[in-house]
């Protein structure tokens, strides 16, 4: 994976990502960015380690290119909800696969609640669903995982504020300082028009690249609905990051 550029201004200058693909660091409708977003122009900082360094990760903690979030270790049963499989490719701006990249995913459960102490809204927790997983891309840059479709949830940003159903993605480069974060959404969600996080990306075509595609090919008869979500790291068709 190429070294990620952590700021919009840097991405546009060095990575040929067109304006409007990455969200502004301060976007007033997304209220918390007003308090946490930097007001000064970002500075480019040299990496502490060379980009050729490998991530030091014990092999026992990584689960190849395929993981099942519906059957977490230590749980007695299966997760409740609409079972889905999500797959896709991670590529560079030239369409070349990004191999052996560490991909992390996390999400709320089917009722719209995260297994996190700060999430205390009154949706039920699922004792058989933790909501996170990690995997490596294969030689074709492909990843795959099984999960349940997350539910929308209230988040208090504005009146009647509910987040569209989404799954968070984190991709690591050659060192831990190289990390890109994005979100995957589901087709035809009526909450898109009301979600300031989704709308913080000015370019409409770029927003569409965050929406997964239903896949009849990946759908497993009577078991799983299939969705595809490809991630492009840089260039004209880059996947929006930093959301």
Catalytic residues: 114, 153, 163, 166, 168
DSSP letters for 135-175: EE--TTSEEEEEEEPPPPEE--SSTT-EEPSEEEEEEE-SS
Closest to 176 measured CA to CA, from 32, 86, 49, 44: 49
Query: DSSP 3-state assignment of 9?
Result: helix
Residues 6+ positions from 30 with CB-CB distance below 8 Å: 157, 196, 197, 200
Residues 6+ positions from 193 with CB-CB distance below 8 Å: 199
Structure token digits, residue 237: 């068709």
Contact 174, 189 (CB under 8 A): no
List Cα–Cα distances, 143 to 65, 66, 132, 180, 184, in angstroms. 5, 6, 15, 16, 14
List Cα–Cα distances, 18 to 24, 198, 203, in angstroms. 13, 18, 9
Structure token digits, residue 49: 């380690």
DSSP E strands in 22-150: the ranges are 66-68, 83-91, 102-106, 132-136, 142-148
């Amino acid at each position: 994976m190429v070294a990620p550029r952590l700021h919009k201004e840097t991405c546009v200058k060095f990575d040929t990502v067109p304006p409007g693909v990455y969200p502004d660091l301060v976007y007033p409708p997304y209220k918390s960015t007003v308090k946490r977003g930097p007001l000064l122009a970002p500075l480019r900082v040299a990496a502490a380690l060379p980009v050729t360094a490998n991530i030091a990760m014990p092999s026992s903690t990584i689960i190849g290119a395929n993981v099942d979030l519906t059957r977490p270790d230590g749980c007695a049963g299966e997760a409740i909800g609409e079972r889905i499989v999500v797959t896709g490719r991670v590529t560079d701006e030239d369409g070349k696969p990004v191999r052996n990249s560490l991909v992390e995913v996390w999400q709320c459960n089917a009722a719209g609640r995260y297994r996190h102490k700060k999430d205390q809204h009154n949706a039920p927790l699922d004792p058989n669903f933790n909501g996170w997983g990690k995997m490596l891309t294969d030689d074709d840059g492909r990843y795959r995982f099984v999960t349940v479709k997350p539910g929308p949830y209230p988040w208090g940003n504005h009146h009647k504020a509910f987040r569209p159903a989404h799954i968070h993605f984190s991709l690591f480069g050659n060192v831990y300082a190289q990390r890109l974060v994005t979100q995957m959404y589901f087709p035809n969600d009526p909450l898109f028009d009301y979600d300031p996080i989704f709308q913080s990306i000015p370019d409409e075509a770029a927003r569409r690249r965050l929406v997964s595609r239903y896949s009849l090919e990946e759908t497993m008869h009577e078991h799983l609905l299939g969705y595809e979500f490809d991630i492009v790291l840089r260039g004209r068709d880059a996947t929006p990051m930093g959301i």
